Structure 1
Amino acid sequence: MATMKDVARRAGVSTATVSRVLNGHSAPTPETRARVLAAVDALEYRPNVLARSLRVHSTQTLGLVISDLLNPFFAEIARAVEDEARKHGYVVIFGNADENVEQQERYVRTLLDRRVDGLLVCPATDDDGWVSEVSARNVPLVLLDRRIDVGGAPVVYADGAAALRELATHLVKLGHRRIGVISGPEDTSTGRERLHAFNDALRTLGHPLSPDLVTHGDFRRRSGADAASWLLGRPEPPTVLVAMDNLMGLGALEELRRLGRRIPDEVGLAIYDDQPWFPLFEPAITVVAQPTEEMGGAAVRSLLALINGEQPAEVHLDARLIVRASCGERL
């Protein structure tokens, strides 16, 4: 591999001049700059990024650990994070926790060892054991989508309470009284908060959830299918299913199709999270849509503020209800 000395020798300049050109500083003359860049291209020279990071205390990289790469919601978040980071001259290194806290911890540790300038983490569970290691390294941290009980780390998330109140009102107006819920894990903030907000809204309307029509999945497609099967097998099954995550919603839809249940004539379906294909289904799926692009961008901006010594506030964005035809609507 070519070195900076090789570039300097080929361009007929000092290594200091090569360094100035590569770091964006002015060269003695435009011709000198052109010779240096031509030598860099000819020798296919690549700067030693790690060595440079030791000098300037920055690698221009951000670490992102997401809960599940197969979940379209987190894939959209990752894309938005990458797009925003690129605007500010940063690259993003990804880690997929696969909804597993041990794997999450391994990725966090690996990213810290790679000297990322800051971390964005969508926590897999409420477990906060890994946070102390981040704090010990003095690496800025922003939590994304899910919160855990740690002080000082700003959170960027979408508040779905208002949209869930709208959904509860909508379902009650349609005549649904036995509402089945496929909730997320109880050891995640989103799992708890969505269920509580939805139940509180229904209770205010005089129709609280029946405990025998609430079950918990793991934000995976298989768990959604299993939950739908269990709910529909109850002595008095629900007239509508509400899945609190898009993958669990897809699993529920798969199970409804397997059982031959017509939507919405025999059972309705609403899903938390929107996806581009949900409007294309027959019937189109009613959803609570989260602003994934805004969440990813806001998370990066909050992290860069931390890196620059500022203390950003939490960012609360709003989810919104999109009514389609899957709960019995006639549009």
Structure 2
Amino acid sequence: MKPPRRASRLADVAALAGVSITTVSHVVNGTRFVAPDTRDRVRHALESLSYEPPPLAVRPRTGRVLGLAITGASNPYFGELIQGVESEASRAGFALLLCDTHDDAQREAAAVAMLLAHNVEAIVIAPTPGWESVTLPLLRKHQTPFVLVDRMSDVRCDQVGTENEAVSVALVEHLLDLGHRRIGMLTGLEGLSTTKERWRGYVRAHELLGVPVDAGLAVAAHSTVAGGRAATAKLLRLDHPPTAIFSGNNAMTIGALLALKEAGRHVPDDVALVTFDDFEWASAMSPALTAAAQPFHAMGAQAVQLLLRRLADPFAPRHIVRLPAEIEHRESCGCRPDAVSASVG
């Protein structure tokens, strides 16, 4: 007897889950967002029917390959990190296969599945919110070595990132030392360790100087330009708006600058501004931006080094690396242009 065709098996899964065949396909292949409750029904049906998708037809690799799953094209600022991964991988004799996760857990899982189908030996991943329930089981099922980069996790694995909390304390403490007592914060994408750690730094800086934290001055800006623009506009509409703003990442900073310009507010005379993530053009602006510059190239190179260590010794103890960031004191905080830079970490 011939085995059931894939289409009929998908139909069985769809019937059991009470969804369309297209929805089952999206869950299996990770090609589109599916609501969590629907996704759970489909996965339960897949398990109940012991459905296994056919393996992808992939030509055998001719050399050693590492995978990188990161929000790349959708976040160009990660370009320097990608360069760090690629250069260190190349130096070690590996080619690099890159997939863009677009900061979406299901697209991330699909990207990792594709990397695994192409027989990568190990994977560098900048995890999306919710990766533990979608992507992590896939990595563990295939027993593929991986390392987290930039975004940290409680999962026991190799990781490399920046000293987010300490750097945030230094940036906000600097504003407090300059006399600001109402400091707004643009917070990043919910569920990311970077968002949590930078928020903790904001709070800790206030605690260190005995200044109460006004929760109404922290606004979610979702790590996007549009989010930063809307959040800054919201802060400026308050009865007692902030006299300074701490932006949690580069995209939100652009949005903040747009909102301040639209409102006719001048930096730093009307509102001081400091930001996590430096720009190549930050010093060319007027006023130049005070920013924390992350060592992204070094971060990417270190991630590959951790993978090489893991490939050489699968039973080596996990290693977590936190790299220092360089704070560039410029003019947007209200300092003199010749202020000295500082390293935190």
TM over 0.5: yes
Q: 2:319 aligns with which of 310, 313, 316?
A: 313
Task: Give the Å deviation of 1:98.
Answer: 1.1
In structure 2, C-alpha distance between the alignment counterparts of 1:189 and 1:249, rounded to whole Å: 19
Q: Which residue identity does 1:328 align to in structure 2?
A: G
Q: Which residue of 2 aligns with 1:147?
A: 152
Q: What does residue 4 of structure 1 align with?
A: none
Give the RMSD, CA atoms, in angstroms.
1.6
Change (3 A) 1:51 1:262: closer
| Range with greater deviation from structure 2 (157-166 or 106-115) | 157-166
CA contact (8 A) 1:220 1:247 kept: yes
Partner of 1:291: 295
Q: CA deviation at 1:126?
A: 3.9
Matches within 5 A, 1:1-331: 50-51=59-60, 59-129=63-133, 130-151=135-156, 153-310=157-314, 311=316, 313-331=319-337
Q: 1:51 to 1:166 in 2, by over 3 A?
A: closer
Query: Aligned with 2:274: secondary structure?
Result: strand
Matched-pair contact (CA < 8 Å) for 2:151–2:194: yes
Q: Shift of residue 67 of structure 1?
A: 2.6
Given residue 291 of structure 1, which amino acid in structure 2 is its aligned partner? P
Counterparts of 1:298 and 1:125 in 2: how far apart (Å)? 23
2:65–2:120 contact (8 Å) kept in structure 1: yes
In 1, Cα distance between the equivalents of 2:279 and 2:60? 43
TM-superposition CA deviations, 1:174-227 (whole Å, max 9, x none): 111100000112311111111012211211111133111001122111111111
- For each residue in 1:10-47, what CA deviation from the matched residue of structure 2 results, as whole angstroms up to 9, or x when unmatched? xxxxxxxxxxxxxxxxxxxxxxxxxxxxxxxxxxxxxx
Q: Judging changes above 3 Å, is the alpha-carbon distance between structure 1 residues 105 and 242 closer, same or farther for their aligned structure 2 residues? A: same
Quick one: structure 1 residues 157 and 102, their matched pair in 2 at CA, closer, same or farther if it must change by over 3 Å? same
Q: Cα deviations across residues 121-166 of structure 1 (Å, max 9, x unaligned)? A: 1011143121111111111010011123322x21100112332222
CA contact (8 A) 1:185 1:192 kept: no
Q: Does the 8 Å contact 2:185/2:248 carry over to 1?
A: yes
Distance 2:292 2:61 in 1: 46
Quote how far apart the aligned CAs of 1:293 are: 1.2
* Alignment TM-score, normalising by the size of structure 2: 0.77
What is the percentage of aligned positions where both structures have the same residue?
33
- List gaps (5 residues or longer) in structure 2: 1-57, 338-345
TM-fit CA distance, 1:68: 4.3
Distance 1:292 1:305 in 2: 20
**Distance (Å, rounded) in 1 between the aligned partners of 2:233 and 2:97:** 39
Could you tell me which residue of structure 2 aligns to residue 27 of structure 1? none
User: Which letter maps to 1:318?
Assistant: P
> Higher mean Cα deviation, 268-277 or 204-213?
204-213
Q: Number of residue pairs matched? A: 277
Q: TM-score by structure 1 length?
A: 0.80
Cα displacement (A) at 1:50: 4.0
Aligned to 1:196, the other structure's residue is in SS state helix
My pick for the range that moved more, 116-125 or 305-314, is: 305-314
Cα pair 1:127 1:148 within 8 Å, conserved: no
Q: Which runs of 5+ in 1 are unaligned?
A: 1-48, 54-58
C-alpha contact 1:200 1:208 (8 A) present in aligned 2: no
SS at match of 1:69: coil
Q: Is the 8 A contact 2:273 2:290 kept in 1?
A: yes
